[in-house]
Amino acid sequence: MTKVSFRILSVIFVLTFAALACGLPSPAQLLQSEPVEVVEGVSPDTPVNASEALPTLVSETGAVPVVQPPVDLVSQQDALIALHAKVSPGVVSIQVLTELGGGQGSGFVIDNDGHIVTNFHVVHGGTDIEVAFPSGLKVKGEIIGEDADSDLAIIKVDVPADQLVPLTLGDSSNLQVGQIVVAIGNPFGLNGTMTTGILSGQGRTLDSLNETPEGGRFYSTGDLLQTDAAINPGNSGGPLLNLNGEVIGVNRAIRTFNSTDAGEPLNSGVGFAISINIVKRVAPALIANGSYDYPYLGISSLNEITLDIANELGLERAVGVVITQVVPGGPSDDAGLQVSDVITAVDGQELNSFGDMISYLFNNTSPGDTITFTVFRDGSSIPIELVVGSRP
């Protein structure tokens, strides 16, 4: 077979598939028909309204039948659709200009007075803040309160109450790992994006954005929620919700080892949100005073007790808060706490980790309160009272 004839057969083969796909005449008919003169790209046999001659795409007889999803999945789908329609009007996009450039994040309305919750790291240092509502309304925003410890901030906008959709704040004390959660925000500037996942963990602890006086270290922030709902740059400050549409957290951060070409972090299934009960304590103070006074102990601790440390301290279980440093003149120093003490309970509530203690303090105490620690020292448990201080 010559190369020329091979090319002809190849063309016929390709045309055969094209004809089967498009309902055109067969290759044999095309090759046998007489040449047709085409004037200005229109065949004499083509109707003036060519669209009327196009084939109609219909399902073939015997095609895979439509599968009806289980009723519970349909109900969940309907619930998510309704949730987005209900909540998204209260979620805003925030554009920030700073002396170093600009940034973008999310936020949500919490009342009819125009107060919006977002992250400290989204708006801090902003010289010009623009708030965009899903309705198309865009207004300037003013920062009236910031808190580097919780990574929360409050923006005030001058908008009529009838154009505001405040979201309902839930209760993070009754959450359970495994329940479905929903994140709504503006990742990468894609407004109104909704993602779903589960609550992966509670009581997580990260470094705050508030540096200690000695420098080089940061205070801890606690009572964080962990989720696998997709959270990406631009989601920060947006709401994390339960299936009732109640806000249970404020999306804050992701833990990842991946990034875009521009260096922005990418979601890897580990996201964190500030629990709504922390927000309900901090936000009113930010609105009223512009700041929040955090409880302070003046100690450092390990995030986890290793087996070696547990054996060295004589612990039956590797739980509790091992003190590794006591700040001179701080509340813990005044109360008599020592390095290597293990705090096993506070006010009768058992502590498994440092995160448990931080969550308890942030949710239940204020500077000036007196609390009672149960401390394991030299093989015995002793009670120690402590007056909670204020973070420097």
The pLDDT score that the predictor gives to residue 257 is 53
Residue, of 220 and 371, whose pLDDT is higher: 371
Q: What is the pLDDT of residue 259?
A: 58
What's the confidence (pLDDT) of residue 212?
Answer: 76
| 236 is annotated as an active-site residue | yes
Give the confidence band of 9 by pLDDT, cuts at 50, 70, 90.
very low
Please state, in angstroms and rounded to a whole number, the distance separating the CA atoms of residues 371 and 80. Answer: 43
Domains of the chain: 86-163 (2.40.10.10), 172-289 (2.40.10.10), 295-390 (2.30.42.10)
Q: Is the pLDDT of residue 256 over 90?
A: no
Residue 360: per-residue pLDDT = 94
**In whole numbers, what is the pLDDT of the chain averaged over residues?**
83
Q: In a 3-state reduction of DSSP, which class is residue 258?
A: coil
Active site residue 128: no
Six token digits for residue 110: 């919490």
pTM of structure: 0.77
Task: Note the pLDDT of residue 232.
Answer: 86
Give the pair of three-digit tokens for residue 139: 């207004």
Q: Is 213's pLDDT higher than 60?
A: yes
Q: Is the pLDDT of residue 198 over 80?
A: yes
Which is higher by pLDDT, 61 or 186?
A: 186
User: Of these residues, 93, 106, 220, 236, which one is catalytic?
Assistant: 236
- The percent of residues in the chain predicted with pLDDT above 70, rounded, is 78
Using DSSP, state whether 319 is helix, strand or coil: coil
- Mean pLDDT calculated for residue range 359-381: 95
Catalytic residue among 149, 151, 223, 228: 151
- Distance, in Å, from the CA atom of 222 to the CA atom of 358, rounded to the nearest integer, reads 5
214: alpha, beta or left, given left = phi > 0 and alpha = psi -120 to 50?
Answer: alpha
* Marked catalytic residue, from 84, 88, 121, 332: 121
Instruction: At 40, list the tokens.
Output: 């200005």
The pLDDT value recorded for residue 180 is 95
Burial (0-12, 13-18, 19+ Cβ within 10 Å), 229? buried
| pLDDT bracket for residue 260 (50, 70, 90) | low
Using CA atoms, how far apart are residues 349 and 109, in angstroms rounded to an integer?
35
Which uninterrupted H or E stretch holds 377? strand 370-377
pLDDT greater than 60 at residue 31: no
The two structure tokens encoding residue 391 = 């973070």
pLDDT of residue 166: 96
User: Which of 63-77, 125-139, 200-214 is the least confident region?
Assistant: 63-77
| pLDDT single digits (tens) 280-319 | 999 999 999 999 999 999 999 988 899 999 999 999 899 9
Whether 58 shows a pLDDT value over 60: the answer reads no
**Model confidence at 126: pLDDT above 70:** yes
